[in-house]
Amino acid sequence: MVAGSAALMRAVDPTLANGVVVNRIARTADPAGTQDQTGNGRVNIARALSDTSTDAIQPAGTAPVGSGGPFVGPYKAGATATSGDGTMSVNSTTVNASSTNTLTFTFTAVNDFGITSQVRLTIPTGWTPPQTAAGPGQVTAAATGGSSGCGTVGPLSVSGSDVTVTITCSNGKKFTLTYANATAPATATSSTFATATRSGGSGSPVAIASSPVVTVIGPPAQLAFTQQPSSSSTGGTAFGTQPKVTIQDSAGTAVTSDNSTQVTLAITSGTGTAAAALSCTTNPVTASAGVATFAGCKIDKVGTGYTLTATSGSLTSATSSGINITAGTVAKLAITDVNGGANPAAGVGFPVTVQSQDAGGNPTNVTGGTALGFSLSRTAGTGTLGGTLSGTIAIGANTVTVSGVTYSKAESGVVITATRTSGPAATAGSSAPFTVDIGPASKLAITSVNGGSNPTAGTPFSIVVQSQDVGGSASPVSADTDVSITLKTGTGTLGGTLNGTITAGSSQTTISGLTYTKAESGVVLTAKRTLTSDWAGDSAAFTVNAGIATKLAITSVNGGSNPTAGTAFSVTVRSEDANGNFSNVSAATGVSLTLKTGTGTLGGTLTGTIAASSSTLTISGVTYTRAESGVVLTATRTSGDTLAPGDSVAFTVNAGTITKLAITAISPATPTAGVGFSVTVQSQDANSNPSNVTGGTALGFSLSRTAGTGTLGGTLTGTIAIGANTVTVNGVTYTKAESGVVITATRTSGPAATAGASAPFTVNAGAASKLVIISVNGGVNPTAGSPFSIVVQSQDASGNAALVSTDTTMSITRKTGTGTLGGTLTGTILAGASATTISGLTYTKAESGVVLTATRTSGDTLTAGDSAAFTVNPGPAAMLVITSISPASPTAGTGFSVTVRSQDANGNFSNVSAPTAVSLTLKTGTGTLGGTLTGTIAAGSSTLTISGVTYTRAESGVVLTATRTSGDTLAPGDSVAFTVIAGAGSKLVFTTSPSDSLTNIAFSTQPTVTVQDAYGNTATSSTANITLSITTGTGTPGAALTCTQNPKAAVAGIDTFAGCRINLAGTGYQLHATASGLTAADSASFTINTGVPTPTSISPASVARGSADFTLTVNGTAFVNGSYVQFAGSPRVTAFVSATQLTATILASDVATLGSFAITAVNPAPGGGLSNAQTLTVTRGTTTSVSCTPGSAVQGASTTCTVTVSDASGASAFPPVGTVNFSTSGGGSFAPSSCTLSSSIGNSSTCSVTYNTSAGGSQTITAAYSGSTDDIPSSGTFTL
């Protein structure tokens, strides 16, 4: 039956998956018995065919197999829904009143709703009635898309306000019901869309647990604080929590669609502190989504119980919760009082009260570690704030009064500002504007001069003097106050009436009849109190006009600059009043110029006319001929106004511009040669008048000789300074005694000027001051060893021949040259003479550049003098000399050259007259001289080079001799001693052989190998790498040589080895030296002896008595293969391990007896011998056992562990003594960690400790006996 149903369903819809077929059959079956008996009941094929669900079902207890099969039952469908199951939701939970909306309701099945199940949705009153037709309120239903939708949805029916949908829907599946274009109620309300479900085809729907609700929002009706401001804050500081005000409808629902209503906040009337102010960043605020969110709101004044009121047009206002405002920290300064509220008086000190306040203007004490300093300044007003302008508000205070503040100006609208200078941060604060009243009179001022018109020089005028306060406001005097007038600024004389009185109660007086002599501007008068000379006050600067013209005055000559002789200049003539003020003439007035003082001639243009109504005449083209000072001109009226004549001030006429230099004096007139004299040089104009240097550069010049044969020296330059025309150059010298000498001064810098020469003058010779050798051998070169003559002259400092006043002796010496001066070396210049000839001098060296010196020995004091350098020729050849060995250090066996020269008797090279044969011989040295040993000096020559000379020995101090064998007769001559160096290395030689030694001990005398050339000389240039080895066939076979370094590079041809040793004893050893390219060498024979061994330790150092045979290890030094160990002087079988270790077998019989026994080592010959002894101790043997009671324990519990140590040595057993140490593998602890053996029974001793466990598991307890003098250590374990 079931299979047939499935086949029928697949025939109707071949696309159905197996699981879906099973699900439809199972879910539509009619109940029959229990599921355990019939599974899902009896098949209802009609319902299965009409089921449209797409859920798949799977066999109970098996994994999903998709659309495959076969399936195994029974099949378990979901639980059947009961009426009232299911949930309903809506997409919009809030809508605006009277708005048109489309609501989508979603139903979700809880358990399975079978065929003909129903869902009913009731539309609330006030909404558009539902209908199935198109239009407002149309309702439609549909399963949600995909696998989440109900199996069947529909049909849908409407009855009144009820919408009913018939469904088949599995657990968790959904369908949607759309309510389109529905208009909400016109007033605020909460609309519940009642939902009911019916499971199956019978019965009435039952309300579900929670039906969807849509809130209908009405029009804005009221305000509400939905976020209260902070309950406490500080004055002037924004609330920590800012208020939010919501626009609500009459039901209290937020009108979220409102984005236009403006909400205003204010302090609720009657709350907080009177005159407090609320400020916000923005106020009012426009709502956004029905909420007005405020920011930056704060209240300035301290107070409690503040509330805020929110208002917006006709909407019902809202009041916030309470707010308390306390004083905050200091934020600003404020000036709270000026002069107690009364107007200060200008110039009179007054108090200013400054207060520290929080941001809201509340008085706030200064806290922290620093008082609050401030300064006062004017920020409005035109006067000057003075007096005390700083103050400090102390810590713990908020107010300070600064006394003694002053203000200079009587005016209104003055504002003072207090600005922080130190302490807590605080913004500046200003006072309210205030008025400063006129102060008491404290000074005078001249407020008017001549009624505001310029006075006339010499004519009386009046002034007004006023008494004023410190700020310059008119202020009456309290008593009659006398004033006096003085001149403060001006160059004239103040006269006339200069005193007056300001009467009591008045603030000014007029003084008439003052006079002033000078027509000028910038005149200032001063008024002072007569008795005290204080209260000084000035007038404004004023101008005094000139009087009537009465005289002439020359006011300028050449514009104030000195005229130049012969050059036209101008003269300015002015008409003046009686007081010397420039005053215009009324008619044209003729003027003429004349010379009053001076020796020159006044010429050029000398007349002119002052135009009517003018006071000035400039006459140009005036000339004067004389360059001089003190010139005075007179101006005389010739027509027009009657004016008295007037003079110029005395002036100077300068010379013309510089055109030349002149030497005006030589001092002394007849200088002495070599002695400094002075030369005076002058700059002159074209007429030879001295003319000062002008412009920006002084006039530099140099002096030179233009006549004479001597040398002009000393100071030869000079400079005529700007503004000067003469300079004297001192320290000029001239070398030649002669007449007709002329010196010329030539410009080198500065203004252009032609050269000027001195008159010719005579230079006298100076006193004799020195000697000079003026001739040697009459100008011919002397010959070495032959007499010659010289002439010595006395001269002045300039080299002029000068007579000596007394007989003057001298000696002759060599100054330069390498020869010896001899013969006659003294002479005398007689009194009245200037020269002497000395004959019979000799000189040994043929050379050039010889200079002689003549030195005074008595008579006139004269400095020494030299000859000119001269050449001495050689004498005839007389001997040979070897002058050169080349190379300077020849190489043994290699040809070198020898240079032989012929010399005169004094050692000067001298040519031979005939060919002269020479032979070479060895004078000093141990080698053999060979090769080419003869040669010939050619006639007319002095040099012979013999090449190819050889010498066999590398040594120093070699000397050769050259001997003449024919030709000129010449004495033999030697070379200087020279060094012959070794040739290239060709062989090795042991220059030091090694000494006898011990095995493995470095030779006391280490080998030295030398590299030698073919002649047996050490090849010092060799760095050959030399290798040492044992010469084959010598010593002991198998022996090895070691050195600190081998091979080793030679140093200067010598290789000194170090640390060389041989490991095996033997006789007849030789070492073999080799190096690449060199002949090898063998050392002398030597012997390697065996050393005496030195044991340093043995192991074991003690054994138990009665032990079996065992191996003893002996450590030490100098052991060799063949060394053996002795026990108590008896040899034992020994094995050689290394030079530092032997092992030997110790017999059981050796340790059968308690005691200490000597262990020694013996090395065999050659050498060898018996070592020092180490001690082997035979002690009692021990055994150690340990047990713990109890043998098992709970973690954290304790147990007692007892150790037993027994003497295991056999006979004469003795209970051991000493200490036992405990350890564990289990991490517990022992108390104590060791114990001392005490209880003895027979040959055993015991002691106990407590073991405290800390972990579970099997643990090993170890007891270690440390031994004693007679007992060896042992240990034992116990497993707990």
Q: What's the CATH number where 1207 sits?
A: 2.60.40.2410
Model pLDDT, residue 446: 96
**Are residues 339 and 312 part of one domain?**
no
**Are residues 211 and 92 part of one domain?**
yes
The answer to the question of residue 416 being in a domain is yes
Model pLDDT, residue 78: 53
* Per-residue pLDDT at 648 exceeds 60: yes
Average pLDDT over residues 187-210: 94
Residue with tokens 């809506």: 90
Model pLDDT, residue 71: 44
Residue with tokens 């005055």: 553
User: CA 162, CA 1011: separation in Å to the nearest integer?
Assistant: 133
**Are residues 534 and 418 part of one domain?**
no
Q: Return the amino acid letter for 1247.
A: C
User: Which of the four pLDDT bands, split at 50, 70 and 90, describes residue 11?
Assistant: confident
Q: Cβ(114)–Cβ(125) under 8 Å?
A: no
Query: Pick from 714, 747, 763: which residue ends a domain?
Result: 763
* Per-residue pLDDT at 59 exceeds 60: no
Q: Cβ(710)–Cβ(798) under 8 Å?
A: yes
**Are residues 783 and 733 part of one domain?**
no
Q: Return the amino acid letter for 1027.
A: T
Model pLDDT, residue 39: 57
Q: How many CB atoms lie within 10 A of CB 1246?
A: 19
Q: Are strands 494-496 and 508-516 parallel, antiparallel or unpaired?
A: antiparallel
Q: What's the CATH number where 360 sits?
A: 2.60.40
Alpha helices (runs of H) in 206-282, residue ranges in sequence order: none
Average pLDDT over residues 16-42: 67
Average pLDDT over residues 584-600: 95
Interval 125-158: pLDDT, tens: 999 999 999 999 999 999 987 778 998 999 999 9
496: containing domain = 455-485+492-538
Query: Pick from 189, 217, 245: which residue ends a domain?
Result: 217
The closest of 892, 943, 895, 898 to 916, measured between CA atoms, is 943
922 CB contacts (<8 Å, ≥6 apart)? 928, 929, 951, 958, 959, 960, 961
Residue with tokens 């050039």: 848
Percent of the chain with pLDDT over 70: 97
The answer to the question of residue 592 being in a domain is no
Cα 550–chain centre separation: 82
Average pLDDT over residues 295-310: 94
Q: How many CB atoms lie within 10 A of CB 313?
A: 9
Query: Pick from 1179, 1212, 1228: which residue ends a domain?
Result: 1179
Sheet containing strand 174-183, edge to edge, reads: 87-90, 100-108, 174-183, 138-143
User: CA 665, CA 271: separation in Å to the nearest integer?
Assistant: 115
Residue with tokens 């020089």: 457
The answer to the question of residue 588 being in a domain is no
Is residue 373 classed exposed, middle or buried when 0-12, 13-18 and 19+ CB atoms within 10 A define those classes?
Answer: middle
* Per-residue pLDDT at 76 exceeds 70: no
Model pLDDT, residue 369: 87
Lowest-confidence range among 211-215, 519-523, 1163-1167, 1260-1264? 1163-1167
Interval 776-802: pLDDT, tens: 999 999 999 899 999 999 998 888 889
Interval 340-359: pLDDT, tens: 999 999 989 999 999 999 98
Q: For the chain, what is the mean pLDDT?
A: 92
**Are residues 753 and 775 part of one domain?**
no
**Are residues 207 and 110 part of one domain?**
yes
3-state secondary structure of 901: strand
Cα–Cα separations (whole angstroms), residue 37 to 32, 75, 289: 9, 12, 63
Q: What is the 3-state secondary structure (H, E, C) of 636-698?
A: EECCCCCCECEECCCECCECCCCCEEEEEEEECCCCECCCCEEEEEEEECCCCCECCECCCCC
* Per-residue pLDDT at 61 exceeds 70: no
**Are residues 840 and 946 part of one domain?**
no
Interval 401-449: pLDDT, tens: 999 999 988 899 999 999 999 999 999 999 999 999 888 888 999 999 9
The answer to the question of residue 562 being in a domain is no
φ/ψ bin of 45: left (φ > 0), alpha (ψ from -120 to 50), beta (otherwise): alpha
Identify each DSSP E strand in 109-221 by its residue range. Answer: 113-122, 138-143, 152-159, 162-169, 174-183, 189-192, 195-198, 206-207, 213-217
The answer to the question of residue 798 being in a domain is yes
Residue with tokens 């006067």: 383
**Are residues 867 and 885 part of one domain?**
no
* Per-residue pLDDT at 667 exceeds 50: yes
The answer to the question of residue 648 being in a domain is no
Average pLDDT over residues 1116-1126: 90
Sheet containing strand 508-516, edge to edge, reads: 443-449, 461-468, 508-516, 494-496
3-state secondary structure of 1180: strand
Residue with tokens 């340790």: 1151
1271 or 813: whose pLDDT is higher? Answer: 813
Q: Is the pTM of this model over 0.85?
A: no
DSSP per position, 427-446 = B-EEPPPB--B-----EEEE
User: CA 596, CA 601: separation in Å to the nearest integer?
Assistant: 11
The closest of 228, 167, 232 to 195, measured between CA atoms, is 167
**Are residues 1017 and 908 part of one domain?**
no
Model pLDDT, residue 77: 47
The answer to the question of residue 441 being in a domain is no
Q: What is the largest CA-CA distance in the chain?
A: 182
Interval 742-773: pLDDT, tens: 999 999 999 999 999 999 999 988 889 999 99
Question: How many distinct structural domains can be found in the chain?
Answer: 11
Q: Cβ(1115)–Cβ(1098) under 8 Å?
A: yes
Percent helix, strand and coil across the chain, each to the nearest 5? 5, 50, 45
Q: Cβ(706)–Cβ(649) under 8 Å?
A: no
3-state secondary structure of 1201: strand
**Are residues 1275 and 1157 part of one domain?**
no
The answer to the question of residue 641 being in a domain is no
Cα–Cα separations (whole angstroms), residue 663 to 658, 673, 728: 14, 20, 10
Q: Are strands 213-217 and 94-96 parallel, antiparallel or unpaired?
A: parallel
Model pLDDT, residue 65: 45
**Are residues 375 and 473 part of one domain?**
no
Is residue 1218 classed exposed, middle or buried when 0-12, 13-18 and 19+ CB atoms within 10 A define those classes?
Answer: middle
Phi–psi pair at 1003, nearest 5 degrees: -55, 135
Q: Return the amino acid letter for 674.
A: G
**Are residues 280 and 355 part of one domain?**
no
User: Which of the four pLDDT bands, split at 50, 70 and 90, describes residue 973?
Assistant: very high
**CA-only gyration radius of the chain, Å:** 72
Interval 910-920: pLDDT, tens: 999 999 999 99
Q: What's the CATH number where 754 sits?
A: 2.60.40.10
